[in-house]
Every structure is written in C-alpha cells, then in structure tokens.
Structure 1
Amino acid sequence: MYWNGCIKIITLEEAYTAIDRIKRAGMIYDAHIMTGVAGSGRGMENAEKTAEFLNATKPRHVINFSMFLHQEAPLYRDIVQGNFLPADELENLMEEKCLLEHLQVDGLKYDGFHDFVQFRVRGTFPEDRQKMLRKVEEAIEKNKKKSRFLQ
C-alpha cells in the first residue's frame, strides 16, 4: 500500500527486507496492525500469520485496532457489491485473542483497541500476556450475546 509517500510494500519478502533496513539504520521499528482485514471467517489464520511475522521482525511496539471502512474506501465498494464480507467486532476480538496467544516477542509493548465495542487492552510481553488474555476473553463473552456489529 502507498500512503502520502510512505514505503510501498507489496510482498512479504519486501516487508522483511524493509524492516531489516530500518533496523540496520538504527531506527526503531514499531508495527500498526488491524484485526478484521482478512474478512469474515479468516481472523484466526490472519492472527497466526501476523504473529509469525511479528515474532520474526520483533517490533518494539504493536498498535492493533479494528478495521473500519469509510464509504469512500475502495474495499467498502467491494462490500456493497458482495465481493468482501467484513469481520464483525466479535470476530475481531477473537482474532486479537489468537494473536495474543501466539505473540512471542520479549519486551513487546502491546496496545489493542476496538472503537465499536469501546474495548482496549494494553500490556508488555510476556509478563502481561495472561492479564491481557483474560480481559479479551471477558470482552468476547460480553459481546457474544450481541448481534453482528455494523462496520
């Protein structure tokens, strides 16, 4: 993707190369990620692959937020046309739980939030993993009773 002159990364190999260059230049590597980007029914796969990538690249911080699609976004048009089914917030919470279970980066500072369900979880790995998992599990149980959330 390309936003306002940022590095354009197309393949996983290019992402690894770009992060390696950032680190070799002495710069700090932090990661911003989104739950829900894989679409409905693919959150666990996305969480596992994202954790694999983050475990390999070892960012200092991870900021995780749920995907929100504005009606002007090209992917929003795909939803309207029936070509993409977005994950709901319950799926996003379950994806975040899976991600937290699979992250293995010592000293990683994690901050995850979901605007639609007003939920946030923060901590440092590995010492806060169980606390963060309990908090996400509570949010999952609370939101299981609700119907599918709007995107």
Structure 2
Amino acid sequence: MMLNYDYPLYRPPSEADSLIFQVTLGCSYNKCSFCDMYRSKEYSERPWEDVKAEMDAMAKMLPHTKRIFLADGDALNLDTEYMQKIVRYSYEIFPELERVACYAMPMNVLKKTDTELKALRNSGLNMFYLGIESGSDIVLKKVTKGATAATIIRACKKAKDAGYTLSCMVILGLGGKTHSKEHIKGTAQVLSASAPHYVGALTLYLENGIKDEFLSKFGEPFIPVSDSESLDELEELVTQIDVKDPVIFRANHGSNAFTIKGTFPHDKQAMLEKISWMKQHPETARPVGLRGF
C-alpha cells in the first residue's frame, strides 16, 4: 500500500525530510485572503482505519523514520483523544521517531484547554507551525485572518507554556505601502511578546486564484511594496524585535527578494549590518529564487 495523498499537499520547508500523513484534509477556516493552499478542498477528518492503514504500511517501508508531519492545515482541529491516538501510535510503530509536528492556527490552540495541550505534548506531539502573518489588527482584519494580535500572542504563549517548540511565519508586504509601518510595528510587537523559538519571514506573493479575492477583501486600493521597500520592512522588523530568549530568525524563503538569517538577540546587529550592505549592493545581494534573478 502506498500513501494515497489528496493533493495539493503542503508542509513547512523544514519538514522536507519528514514522513507526511494526512489526518485532515483542507482547512476548517479557509478564509485567509492571502492563502490559496486549500481552496480546492472541503475540510474533512480522515477516519482512524484509513490513517492506521497508511501508517502501518509506511512502518514496514520506512521503519527508520525520525520525523512525522501531520497534514493538512488543520490537524490540531481534531478531537484531542483522536489526535493522541494518532501520535501515540506513531511512536509505537516507528521506534526511531524523534518528532511529530503539525500546523496550528491560533484559534485551534486557544480552543484546546491547557490540560489537552499538555496531554498531546506528553503523547509526543512536539512542534507547532503557526502563522502570525501580521501583528497589526487593521491588516489582520483586511486579510481576513480570523485572529487579532492579542489572540495570536495568547496562542503562542499557551503553546510554549505547554512545552511545544513553536515556529511562526510573518509576511512582509502584507499591508501594502499604505499600512507598511503599522504592519511592521505590530508584527515586531507580537514577535517580541511571544518570542517563538523560530520565525520565518516570507514576502507576499498572490497566486492568480486568490488575487482578486485578496484585493476585494482588502477594502481599499492595495499598493504592493517594491523589493527595495520589502527590504526596508525587513530592516524595520529586525530593528524593532526585542527579545531576551533566543529566537532563530530566517528570511530566506524563495518569495524573498533578499535573504538574511541569524538568532536574536545575539545576531541582531550583524543582521542589520548585512541589510545595510544589501541596500548598498542590491543587484549583487539578490538570491536566485522566486523574487531573485
């Protein structure tokens, strides 16, 4: 038996080598105007018999699996007991398993009680990938994120308090030129308050399938930021992030015109110096990628 994926299938870049099981299909919210990942799917939860059959087959084929990612975008929306069953069974049949991770919307983290989150953590669910996108309530509303800065901070802290490794995403350019300053200021405030273990900064890229919806929901003319303005946003974001605990920061996604990486607070000045150099040498600094040459 092979894995019968319901495409499209997505996973974070850092889960490239992970074994992926689709325990849910699609996204129960599916209203973020900037995201077209699951627009072709209706949300559903896969029955245990189907999930177990695929896991059993893969345990025979890939017995040395060390990492598992539970897809689609909404695995944490599952009933806690069912999620525990899946996670526990993963460790039973993959003896070398070290980590089980999934996407986690802020609303799904907040819907779980502290007891439920800790129970899942004790079962072996280790890591959440949570989309912050922006820390500006104005921008969050315009892109129909279904969350506020305050609820995002609460969700991040709740996950960390329950013992999860937390990797968060933010999107440069999400507020356009009009809301650039408040977008970056709010995002830096959310990151400073929540201090995720990992932060990935992407740049807004609107797929054709959702572009019209995004522009319509935005509620006013959307003026995209240029690549140089995106670099300005990155500089302001790095400047304004203020954390004491280590935060591993990456802005090296293919959507970015310019890339940096480092760990706050130790590498903050070095990252700012690199950004300053890139501003002076923009053509030399551009990477190969979606926004590169």
**Is TM > 0.5 for Structure 1 vs Structure 2?**
yes
Which residue number in structure 1 is paired with residue 272 of structure 2?
A: 133
Which residue number in structure 2 is paired with residue 88 of structure 1?
A: 226
Which residue number in structure 1 is paired with residue 124 of structure 2?
A: none
Aligned residues: 144
Which residue number in structure 1 is paired with residue 203 of structure 2?
A: 66
* Equivalent of residue 78 in structure 1, options 189, 208, 215: 215
* Equivalent of residue 34 in structure 1, options 171, 175, 186: 171
Specify every segment of 5 or more residues in structure 1 that has no aligned partner in the other structure, as ranges. 145-149
Structure having the higher Rg: 2
Specify every segment of 5 or more residues in structure 2 that has no aligned partner in the other structure, as ranges. 1-26, 31-72, 75-103, 108-145, 284-290
Q: CA RMSD in A?
A: 2.8
Bigger relative CO (Cα 8 Å, ≥ 6 apart): 1
Aligned identity (percent) is 24
Q: Normalising by structure 2, what TM-score?
A: 0.44
Residue pair 1:58, 1:105 contacting (<8 A) in 2 also: yes
User: Do the aligned partners of residues 42 and 18 (structure 1) sit closer, same or farther apart at CA in structure 2, a change above 3 Å counting?
Assistant: same
1:73, distance to aligned residue in structure 2 (A): 1.4
1:75, distance to aligned residue in structure 2 (A): 5.2
Residue pair 1:41, 1:87 contacting (<8 A) in 2 also: no
Q: Normalising by structure 1, what TM-score?
A: 0.79
* Equivalent of residue 97 in structure 1, options 231, 235, 239: 235
| Distance in structure 2 (CA, Å) of the matches to 1:134 and 1:66 | 21
User: Do the aligned partners of residues 90 and 13 (structure 1) sit closer, same or farther apart at CA in structure 2, a change above 3 Å counting?
Assistant: same
1:83-135 CA distance string (max 9 Å, x none): 31111111110000001111112311111136467521111112211211111
Which residue number in structure 2 is paired with residue 111 of structure 1?
A: 250
1:45, distance to aligned residue in structure 2 (A): 2.4
Residue pair 2:184, 2:236 contacting (<8 A) in 1 also: yes
* Equivalent of residue 57 in structure 1, options 171, 181, 194: 194
Residue pair 1:43, 1:94 contacting (<8 A) in 2 also: no
Higher mean alpha-carbon deviation, 10-19 vs 70-79, is at 70-79
1:44, distance to aligned residue in structure 2 (A): 2.7
| Distance in structure 2 (CA, Å) of the matches to 1:102 and 1:43 | 14
